[in-house]
Amino acid sequence: MDTLMRITDYSTSSSGIRFTIDQRWRASVDFVTLSMAHVRIFDMDGPQLDRTWSISLGPDITPQTGFGPNNLLDHSPAPAWEGNSRDVDPVEDLRVKTTVAANADEMASHPEFSGVYADEPAGSPDPDEQSFIVGDDSLRVLIRDCPLRMTWQRWADGWVTVSEDRPTGAYEIGTRSGRVAHHRVRNSDDRYYGLGEKSGNLERTGRIFDMRCLDALGYDAASTDPLYKHVPFLMVRTANGAFGIFYDNLSASRFNLGAEVDNYHRPFASWHADHGDIDYWVMTADHVTDLTAQILRLTGDPAFLPRWALGYSGSTMHYTDAPDASHQLLTFIDLLREHAIPCDSFQLSSGYTTIGSRRYVFTWNHDKFPRPTETTQHFRDAGLHLAANIKPALLTTHPYYPNAAAAGIFVTNSRTGKPATSMFWGGHGSNVDFTNPRGVQWWKDNVRHQLLDVGIESTWNDNNEYELWSEDATCDGFGHPIELDRIRPIQALLMNRASFEAQHEAAPAERPFLISRSGPLGLQRYVQTWSGDNSTSWRTLKYNTRMGVGMSMSGLVNFGHDVGGFAGSARPSPELFARWVANGVMHPRFTIHSWHDDGSVNEPWMYPEITDIIREMIRLRYRLIPFLYTLSYLAAERREPIVNPVFSLDDTLLDESDDFLLGHDLLVASVVEEGQRTRTVALPEVAGGWFEFDTGIHHNLRTATLDAPLDRLPLLVRAGAGIPQCELPTPSEQITTTRTVENSPHRIVLYLPDGNGHSEGFFFDDDGHTDGYRQGHGYWLNWAADHTDTTVTVRTHIEGDYHPAWGTMDFALRPGDGRTVDVVAEPSRAN
């Protein structure tokens, strides 16, 4: 690959700078917000891909006092089906200034250029080297050539550097191979995070990661790479603040985060991509966890899913693969009643589509399901929702294949003009091309007629990694053909969009619920996701927890894991299953799912000796639905992740941890080691310390050792927080669902320190399934508590015209707090 060297021409604009490199490459740097900028480098003849499906830049969230119907986020629309222009205008009032130093003598007069690079190449600077300073009052870039490199600085009581390109060669382009690379200096105190769904530790420093979507059945959660998703977003904690870099490139790529060294360069980190252009976004913040809101602003706000998406979702391949699948599913409803297990939905695995041993999407095996609409009606009568598994490939033996091929809906082979084929589950097949309007419409029609019209409400978009590896595999590109290798992850994104639109068109008053395994950033606009086909082991439980926090930090905030492990030789032991359920009930998505070699099934009642424990853990989740739903609202409307690392509250806690935070108030200390009956927790340093959730015991030291018998999940609440909860009815044959929650008494339990103080909090509710809240049909409650040694006075402020069935919010104090509570309601809500 060739190293980009000399700037041969330039021009400035109101948002940045344009320049030519080596008389062959065009480049631009544009500032779009006060803390975000966009860099593009491509051939003089034009970019290889002039469209983006990833960028959906939204407005800033203005800090406000309280929450209410008048300060909802004005979400940006998703990119057009055919993609948007990669040229993005500023969305904030910027005053971009460019300073030019045309040669070494002029550069000497600008002290900003001195001392930036610690080890300039011998003989540097070149007498004809050019230098530019471009930026505004909060973010700027120093650009130099011979070779081309950039240094990013943020204002923090003076300019400080947060990212420095490798001075001995930062940008490389393969004129024959088409490969591209970007190299940055790696400082000894830099810590790397992000990249979405990656195995191993939350901190990525020192590893190499492939960004290539694969169906990684039974992966090792500590080491397997690559996995399912495409999230080329790197987050860096530096000595001078946080730096994020998002590569808007859809081809397979690789990140070297310190595993590679080279005698001719300083320590460096690199990004390589097989195809495409160098097109990246930079962003800065005070803390690395602040970058999550920025990547969500850039790539799209999370979908606000219906409340029932937070309930337990049952699933196993064994039911729908059984000869009497419909009976097995109805038995699941009976077992829920028998064991008093709360539940809201069931995920219908692909066995309902089998003909013989093969799976044919959008077909029904009527031997297993003689009357599908009757089966779905039984679930609706029980208060349960169904999501059906669908796959974007048709086997060549599929009964629809000849007509689908004739309709031209598939990714094609550019040499033959015929549908491209590859190995799929059960044989060779062809993939639907979602960059072809015919493919999109075909898909939407089948979702509607084969699923929604039968009573299925939601889609489970699976096996959408698009593992067609032929270089001849070509997409329609909405009339502008393009090789699949250059846009592979977009197929999964558009597949989900097609499913989303089909569901929305069929039920326009409802907020759609979808699930997807694969896709790029932007996926969060439509779906809930999960960490794929994990394996059954203590190791998976431990590292899935870390993988999930990494997904959340990277912008995939609505996620979960297959509880109990999907793949393996046998089901989990009773102890492992109990611990896994306790861990799973604290994630945004809670699903027990499996396909074990011995034919066993992960189910809440599979071990009678611990069924009571499993039931109480799931009931704990349902008690906390009001809390989780508020967090889901804040994710969608305030870009606040549901799950956070513990160092989001205390950046001294950077060592790897098995703990995580729900919001910033509830610390989850899962037990992930076999035989462990106590948990030692490193506590973030916060004013007032922490309280145990169920006992109210106070901890004000940096560590606490908590009792953790098999029937207890150690939870701690930040002092000053209030945790919204509901009071569930006594277990009975009536299945507890989120509808039960909607009709059960609510209360906010205050965990206030002793003595004098002041605390504030927020709670949200609405009908749980429509967008009516955006027209004010919601319930926004802001509370403030003033407390002394003897009394607590809570003042509430309510907005919105939704009147919940559970009535009036109650306030209670943590266990062991004997102070009296006085609630003063301000007459402020709209009626």
pLDDT tier, 740 (very low <50, low <70, confident <90, very high otherwise):
very high
pLDDT value, residue 101: 86
Does pLDDT of 406 surpass 90?
A: yes
Nearest Cα neighbor of 695 from 677, 713, 678 is 713
What is the distance between the alpha carbons of residues 645 and 636, in angstroms, rounded to a whole number?
Answer: 19
Q: Is the pLDDT of residue 62 over 80?
A: no
* Residues 452, 503 contacting (CB under 8 angstroms): yes
Average confidence (pLDDT) over 568-584? 97
Residue with tokens 């996926």: 523
Q: Which one, of 383, 539, 515, lies nearest residue 461 by Cα?
A: 515
Q: What pLDDT, on a 0 to 100 scale, did the predictor assign at position 56? A: 95
CB burial class (10 A; 0-12, 13-18, 19+) of residue 726?
buried
pLDDT at 108 over 90: no
Output the six-digit token pair for 695: 């006992």
* pLDDT over threshold 90, residue 498: yes
For residue 813, pLDDT beyond 60: yes
- pLDDT over 60 at 125, yes or no: no
- Give me the mean pLDDT over the 555-582 stretch: 97
Burial of 125: CB neighbours in 10 Å, binned 0-12, 13-18, 19+ = buried
What sign has the CA pseudo-torsion 795, 801, 802, 803? positive
What Rg do the C-alpha atoms of the chain give, in angstroms? 27
Is the pLDDT score of 804 beyond 60?
A: yes
Give the torsion sign (CA, 364, 365, 371, 375).
negative
Q: Say how far apart CA 333 and CA 331 lie, in whole Å.
A: 5
Task: Tell me which residue of 156, 138, 162, 104 sits closest to 36, measured CA to CA.
Answer: 138
809 three-state secondary structure: coil
Give the other-Cβ count within 10 Å of 653's Cβ.
17
Q: Is-contact 55 85, C-beta < 8 A?
A: no
pLDDT digits (tens, 9 = 90+) for 597-633: 888 899 999 999 999 999 999 999 999 999 999 999 9
Among 487, 559, 493, which Cα is nearest to 526's?
493
Q: What's the chain's average pLDDT? A: 95
Place 210 in a pLDDT band, splitting at 50, 70 and 90. Answer: very high
Q: Which residue has the tokens 């932007």?
A: 522
Q: What is the pLDDT of residue 831?
A: 46
For 2-60+72-299, CATH gives: 2.60.40.1760
Least confident of 110-124, 681-695, 815-829: 110-124
Residue 117 has pLDDT above 70, yes or no: no
Q: Which of 74-78, 431-435, 774-778, 824-828 has the lowest mean pLDDT?
A: 824-828
Three-state SS for 725? strand
pLDDT at residue 408 greater than cutoff 80 = yes
pLDDT tens per residue across span 412-445 = 999 999 999 999 989 999 999 999 999 999 999 9
User: 39, 159, 16: which is closest to 96 by C-alpha?
Assistant: 16
The model carries a pTM of 0.97
pLDDT greater than 50 at residue 167: yes
Structure tokens at 309: 């998406």
- pLDDT tens per residue across span 335-353: 999 999 999 999 999 999 9
pLDDT at 175: 86
Q: How far apart are the first and last CA of the chain?
A: 67
- Domain residue ranges in the chain: 2-60+72-299
Q: Which two tokens stand for residue 212?
A: 């290539």
**Residue 93 confidence (pLDDT):** 92
**236: Cβ contacts below 8 Å, ≥ 6 apart:** 162, 163, 190, 191, 192, 193, 242, 243, 244, 245, 288
Closest CA to 243 of 281, 300, 298: 281
Nearest Cα residue to 95 out of 16, 11, 10: 16
Contact partners, residue 521, CB within 8 Å, separation at least 6:
54, 196, 230, 231, 232, 233, 246, 295, 299, 554, 555, 556
Provide DSSP, 649-664. Answer: T-TT--S--SEEEETT
Taking 80 as the threshold, does the pLDDT of residue 64 lie above it? no
**DSSP 3-state assignment of 569?**
coil
Tokens 């309601």 found at:
825
CA distance 333 to 344: 11
> Residue 127 has what pLDDT?
73
Return the pLDDT at 829.
Answer: 60
Nearest 5°: the CA angle 689, 695, 700 is 15
